[in-house]
Amino acid sequence: MTKKQKKMLTRIIAAAVLLILLNFLPVTGIIRFVLFLIPYLIVGYDILKKAWKGILNRQVFDENFLMAVATVGAIAIAFYEKSGDFNEAVAVMLFYQIGELFQSYAVGKSRRNISELMDIRPDYANIEQDGSLEQVDPDEVEIGTVIIVQPGEKVPIDGVVVEGTSTLNTSALTGESVPREAKAGDEIISGCINLTGVLKIRTTKEFGESTVSKVLELVEESTSRKSRSENFISKFAKYYTPAVCYGALALAVLPPLVRMFAMGAAPQWNDWIYRALTFLVISCPCALVISIPLSFFAGIGGASHEGILVKGSNYLEALSKTKYVVFDKTGTLTQGIFEVVGVHHNQMEEKQLLEYAALAESASSHPISKSIQRAYGKELDRSRVSEIEEISGNGITAKVDGRSVAAGNVKLMDRLGIPYKSCHKVGTIIHMAIDGEYAGHIVISDVEKPTSKEAIAKLKQAGIQKTIMLTGDAKQVADQVAADLGIDEVHSELLPGDKVEQVERLLAEKPAKANLAFVGDGINDAPVLGRADIGIAMGAMGSDAAIEAADVVLMDDDPLKIVKAIRISKKCLGIVYQNIVFALAVKGACLILGALGIANMWLAIFADVGVMVLAILNAMRTLFVKKL
């Protein structure tokens, strides 16, 4: 609990103890009145102060005004009737403050889930100068600087490991509790905690553009974007509170006047004023005004804890209505890393074929060439290679150990007049020829993410009506991936502009109340992310432009997080609607009972504080996310 919450708890306990003790004292009259004012003022002086300030600022109608009028009125009636029963007024203020304390604690708990992310903000970066480490402000570190991260320290800036091995705790960013291994050559994102070894990292971004800064910026902005439900409740409360105040005034004045002038009976002012005061306590809109924003706030907090950054409650609400999910392929459903998935050879051994291919490709930085070099797995002796010639759109020819080697596509084989064998596998095919003879071919493919197929299946279980894949890849490759993953519709060989056209078409075809989400990671996906009803970016490896354009950012690039995000949003919206219906139904019934004189202040306390506490407890369920 915070210092302020502890102070409030002390006031509540003190007032409660005094209230109980005063009921055992045999005092009456003015002394009893003064004694009961002590616990009343201890627990409620700030409510009276806020109500008075509201009146002075001409912002009269709020819950503080309702509680002040209701409790002061109840005390006045008890004093006027000389009943000495001041328990109700003190109890109403006491239980109201209990509800406020509970609400403050609940908001604090959900806020802590989000503010835990703030702990990833690094305080310093280590730079080695003259044989010793110097701590500098991360903002002062330029791109290309080598920084040193020791065990237990946060990685302050994005970069590439140049020396050292270690394990990293990425849970604050990704929600994944399993540590990640890091070694020389690996890309590292800021915000991770170095657990074991010392790492030397060459920075690739300035601190202001690094992952940790982007994440903090998104979190800080997330609470400023309100959903339709929140805006509705705010407008509802704006008109509702004055309406019930005037309704209570009418209830206090009109029935007595009717009895007196129309019926010739005694007006019974005290009875009707008491009913009006009860009506005011019941009508306090705390349950709605507090629980609805809290539900969304807790939902954003629960999602953040799972490594899903939702930029605002409006996007959380829109996500719950998603029925169509459109995917980019490379880097979204696939790893975006090309790997050798097959080596088909004639007479030459597989290892030797790979060696010739790796040596021939050793001067190229193309992803295909790099994948062949990785598959070979040994250090390349560039002195064995000569006469390298790269033929654009065809492949490479070279001399390896004095032998002529050609590695490329079918165009290269046709160009050299070498008969080749076709391959039944889907992927990029690198045909190999040694000394003018066909030696075999290597199959290279972009590997599917291990959770992609499961994610598509669970999206359909979660109520997604249609999954679509848009890609610039060849039709054969795209169709194969779509078939493997169970995607309903696929469009291939698309340029970035073509993707926008496809999304425009899908938006026009879908039902009005169904939302379309687009999931992508690359800079060429930014226009589509912005055009879709909901843009979801793969954050850890995604481009800055994609993250900026998206409404939801997945910090660990796991497609299963899309399912989790949709489930969180649906749970959150379900709880919001439950609270609205429950609060309005209970308050409506109690208002009728209060107006008829059946409900007293104790029922009013339940209708206000009890309903608020139950609604807050229900809202807090959005903090807890079930495992998939």
Residue 423 pLDDT exceeds 80: no
One-letter identity of residue 453: K
List active site positions: 328
Comparing CA positions, the residue from 576, 563, 557, 551 lying closest to residue 625 is 563
Sign, Cα dihedral of 71, 76, 77, 81: positive
The first and second tokens of residue 573, run together, are 């919206």
Please state, in angstroms and as integers, the Cα–Cα distance from residue 544 to each residue in 49, 209, 485, 554, following that order. Answer: 48, 8, 28, 13
3-class SS at 577? helix
Q: pTM of the prediction? A: 0.67
What DSSP assignment string belongs to 348-373? Answer: S-HHHHHHHHHHHTTT---HHHHHHH
Average pLDDT over residues 476-504: 87
Comparing CA positions, the residue from 409, 433, 279, 295 lying closest to residue 357 is 433
Q: Specify the pLDDT at position 469.
A: 93
CATH node for 142-205:
2.70.150.10
The structural domains of the chain, with segments of one domain joined by +, span 3-115+225-296+571-623, 142-205, 313-333+449-550, 337-447
Distance from the first to the final alpha carbon of the chain: 32
Comparing CA positions, the residue from 454, 446, 447 lying closest to residue 561 is 454
User: Would you say 432 and 406 are in contact if contact means Cβ atoms under 8 Å apart?
Assistant: yes
Helix (H) or strand (E) holding 216: helix 211-222
Residue 78 pLDDT exceeds 70: yes
Residue 237 pLDDT exceeds 90: no
Q: For 472-489, b where at least 16 C-beta lie within 10 A, e where not — what string?
A: bbeeebbbbbbeebebee
- Compute the distance between CA of residue 6 and CA of residue 223 in angstroms, rounded to an integer: 26
- Residue 397's beta-bridge partner residues? 389, 406
Please state, in angstroms and as integers, the Cα–Cα distance from residue 123 to each residue in 149, 214, 305, 457, following that order. Answer: 12, 16, 22, 43
The first and second tokens of residue 143, run together, are 């791109």
Q: Specify the pLDDT at position 515.
A: 92
CATH node for 313-333+449-550:
3.40.50.1000
List, for residues 574-612, the tens digit of each pLDDT value.
Answer: 988 898 888 888 888 888 887 787 877 777 777 777 787
142-205 and 337-447: identical CATH topology: no
Architecture in CATH for domain 337-447: 3-Layer(aba) Sandwich (3.40)
Residue 414 pLDDT exceeds 80: yes
List, for residues 6-20, the tens digit of each pLDDT value.
Answer: 898 999 999 999 989
User: Would you say 380 and 373 are in contact if contact means Cβ atoms under 8 Å apart?
Assistant: yes
User: Would you say 591 and 279 are in contact if contact means Cβ atoms under 8 Å apart?
Assistant: yes
Distance of CA 472 to the CA centre of its chain: 29
